[in-house]
Amino acid sequence: MPSKHLHLLFRVVIVVLLAFLSSCGGSAQPTSTSNSTPLPETAATIAKNPSYSSPIAISDDDSLLVVANTLNGTISLINVAGDANAKLTEIQTGDEPRSVVITPNKAFAYVTNQASGTVSVIDLGSQAKVTDISVGGEPYGIALTPDASRAYVANSASGTVSIIDTASNSVVATISIPGVQPRGVAITNNNGGTGQQFVYVTQFLSQPTASGGPGLDQGSEGKVFVISSTDDAQIQGVITLAAHDTGFAADRTAFGGSDKEPTFAYPNQLQSIVLKNGRGYLPNVAASPEGPVKFNVDTQAFLSVFDVAAKSELSGGTINLHAAVKTQTFTPKLFVANPWAVAFKHASNDGYVVSAASDVLVKITLDDNGVPSVVSVPAEGDTTRVSLVEVGKNPRGIVINNADTRAYVYNFISKDVSVVDLSASPEAELARVQSADLPAPGSDAAKFLAGNELFHSSRGEFDEGATERMSNEGWQACASCHPDGLSDGVVWAFASGPRKSIPLNGTFSPQNQTGNQRVLNYSAVFDELEDFELNIRGVSGGKGLIVLQGTADPDPNVKAFDPPNSGREQLHIGGFGAWDAIVAWTQFRVPSPVSAHRGVDPNGEVGQQIVLGRQLFTQANCQACHGGAKWSTPQVDYARVSPFPETITLGTAPEPPAGQLSRFLQLVGTFDPANSIEKNANNAQALGQLGFNPPSLLSISAFPPYFHNGSCLTLECVLENQTHREAGGVTGVLDDPASRAALVQFLISIDATTEPINP
């Protein structure tokens, strides 16, 4: 008999023996201590509800929470029976735990560790880790079949789903998932939880449609892949999530359109999925990339809906949560930026969407067909407002107990759990339970956390008493386009022209050398992270962080290059300069995704291709543009002073940032002035005639599409561009398709552990 089953049998025997002694007048009684979990009333074998991936999970008897503390590499067990709301213990897992599930009998928890490539198995009785199961690259989401016999794990880096047999705690099958970064997982609970079930896996980043393309409002689509629990060999279907009218209009006269042109957005950043009554619900940050890039027309707050039986998007089901805030009559308004998770009551059609960047829950309700709508409530002065519940900082997960009286919300930045009273009217936070320790005030770790907080907030709270500085009415955060500091894969119509969001992991070298920072953006229009103050103000509509001396008033003299923006008078958070904290977090804490090839056998077929590809990389002199620890050679190698010591080449853009540091640009054959997408904010030719600032290759395979305009969906396509592959001045090395194939394998292998190739 497997050790897991022996352990369960032992627990049952102990419980029966204690009950017998008690009935006979014996003195033996179970002892309750601060580090023991309450025993379930019954040992359930079938889950009550469909399982879904989340950083927080609740046991079927409503007594125990398990919370993944991503930033601490631990999980916490919290006793919530009878509103105890007491932390029991904290258990070490692997690096970056992301999702957790609990078996129906409350015996075990399974935790995905994104950076470690493992799933930790936790014995909830002994409160100890049993084992770590190796799965694919960067496991993110996990869900259980109703009988907990299998766990399905979405491996975002390797593009696979690992199937774990929980009796042996081993991987018994692996299914390849097409597309980009599988993340969210949900499993049905059909037929009383017995027999065949269906597994739904989200693709995190949307990809271009067959007739569309990057940079277009309707040019991309989301995907959900369907797997059968009785078939480990193939995908059963693909659900496509299309672009929809946002309910907002844009002034596109500068682009040849009208001043009130309807805008569309496509679902993106699909990291969560929840099933209810034959429908699937996916909160996401939808993208409307056509110009102008402005807060009220670029990122939207979608809740996409699909029909489980039909395996297709539900007609009329998808809504934009922002549209409901737009129509509320109460002011000020708070938009629900970065919807990240959702949960529903079990006995009613009410639900709550987690707005990660706005630090709130937004209440929704479903009609008889499962179509959601946002709940509005009366407010002061005969007005109405969207029903919101304030929670902790950067909420990213939510569960609701079976009694529908409590919601528990995991707050990523404040490292705590909000306990929300759902029986109150209106719903309100009842308690806050610290899940993991916060860093010591004034420490480097506290500075990194402060920068992380601001990067992921659409609001902001500062030592000076200033609030709501990061965007207009809480519309968006830096993370709306750079989740976890990386890339949303969207090609946006910036003032310089079409520009794909660049991940920040290559801004500094993995060794974090002082001053080792690359020149920024595809057209080298910025050289400091603080220059993005212009984006906070101009794109997000916020007041920003750089202020006049001794005040909280925005300093109007903010430009790229001159005067330098680092070291300026700025707002403070936790005693740290706001921009100083964001820069420190970017330099030391933005992760580089793990390569799917990490740990590959160097003597195997793929390993030999990687070795050959590295040689070809050097022979073709790719390191001239992509060498060094940042895998990008352009870096700030001059003093940031006024007057600015570098030559600024004026581009054709009508407004800042129009100046380019042209000595860092390379002609790589990717700019086509005849392409209709190559337009700037005044419908004139975009920047690109002088070339482009070489991006970092660090973890490059995680961030398609490629090039500034997203014109290549694959690395193979990138190398088919002859001008680009010969930019190092060496011809002929990569003309052979077999050589290019080997180089692609090397490019896929590059991550923070790869030895750099110096220029």
Q: Where are the domains of the chain?
A: 51-438
DSSP class of residue 589 equals H
**What percent of the chain shows pLDDT beyond 70?**
93
- Pair 345, 422: CB distance under 8 Å: yes
| The pLDDT of residue 666 is above 60 | yes
Question: Which H/E stretch holds residue 740?
Answer: helix 737-749
| Six token digits for residue 597 | 């090839």
Task: Taking residues 210-223, report their average pLDDT.
Answer: 91
| Six token digits for residue 674 | 């005849």
Rounded to the nearest integer, the mean pLDDT of the chain is 92
Q: How does residue 682 score in pLDDT terms, banded at 50, 70 and 90?
A: confident
| Six token digits for residue 755 | 């030895």
| The pLDDT of residue 22 is above 60 | no
DSSP class of residue 235 equals E
CA dist 593 and 577 (Å) reads 28
Let me know how long the chain is: 759
Which three-class secondary structure string do you get for 616-685? HHHHCCCHHHHCCCCCCCCECCCCCCCCCCCCCEECCCCCCCCEECHHHCECCCCCCCCCCCCECCCCCE
pLDDT at position 495 is 85
- Pair 350, 363: CB distance under 8 Å: yes
Q: What is the pLDDT of residues 369-380, one digit of tens each?
A: 999 999 999 999
Residue 514: Cβ-neighbour burial (10 angstroms; 0-12, 13-18, 19+) = exposed
| The pLDDT of residue 123 is above 80 | yes
- Pair 95, 114: CB distance under 8 Å: yes
**What percent of the chain shows pLDDT beyond 90?**
86
CA dist 701 and 595 (Å) reads 8
Sign of CA dihedral 416, 422, 428, 431: negative
- Pair 221, 242: CB distance under 8 Å: yes
Q: Could you tell me if residue 697 is left (phi over 0), alpha (psi between -120 and 50 degrees) or otherwise beta?
A: alpha
CA dist 627 and 661 (Å) reads 19
Alpha carbon distances (Å) from 338 to 207, 493, 533, 742: 19, 20, 20, 39
Least confident of 1-15, 550-564, 598-612, 646-660: 1-15
CA terminus-to-terminus distance, the chain: 59
Task: Taking residues 215-227, report their average pLDDT.
Answer: 96
pLDDT at position 601 is 94
Better pLDDT: 513 or 153:
153
CA dist 461 and 268 (Å) reads 28
| The pLDDT of residue 96 is above 90 | yes
| The pLDDT of residue 632 is above 90 | yes
Residue 20: Cβ-neighbour burial (10 angstroms; 0-12, 13-18, 19+) = exposed
CA dist 319 and 116 (Å) reads 36
CA dist 220 and 215 (Å) reads 9
Q: How does residue 13 score in pLDDT terms, banded at 50, 70 and 90?
A: very low
What counts of helices (H) and strands (E) characterise the chain?
10, 42
Exposure of 544 in the CB half-sphere (CA atoms within 13 A): 24
Place of tokens 């309100």: 428
| The pLDDT of residue 362 is above 60 | yes
pLDDT at position 42 is 40
| The pLDDT of residue 750 is above 80 | yes
Task: Taking residues 555-584, report their average pLDDT.
Answer: 97
pLDDT at position 658 is 65
pLDDT at position 12 is 36
Of 254, 671, 253, 693, which is closest to residue 495 (Cα–Cα)?
A: 254
Task: Taking residues 734-743, report their average pLDDT.
Answer: 97
- Pair 82, 175: CB distance under 8 Å: no
- The pTM assigned to this predicted structure is 0.92
Q: How does residue 43 score in pLDDT terms, banded at 50, 70 and 90?
A: low
pLDDT at position 387 is 98
Fold (CATH) for 51-438 = Methylamine Dehydrogenase; Chain H (2.130.10)
For strand 497-500 and strand 572-573, is the pairing parallel, antiparallel, or unpaired? Answer: unpaired
Q: How does residue 35 score in pLDDT terms, banded at 50, 70 and 90?
A: very low
| Six token digits for residue 66 | 């398990």
Q: What is the pLDDT of residues 240-277, one digit of tens each?
A: 999 999 999 999 887 778 999 999 999 999 999 999 99
Task: Taking residues 576-582, report their average pLDDT.
Answer: 98
Alpha carbon distances (Å) from 35 to 91, 147, 547: 11, 28, 49
pLDDT at position 20 is 33
pLDDT at position 212 is 82
pLDDT at position 514 is 65
| The pLDDT of residue 7 is above 50 | no
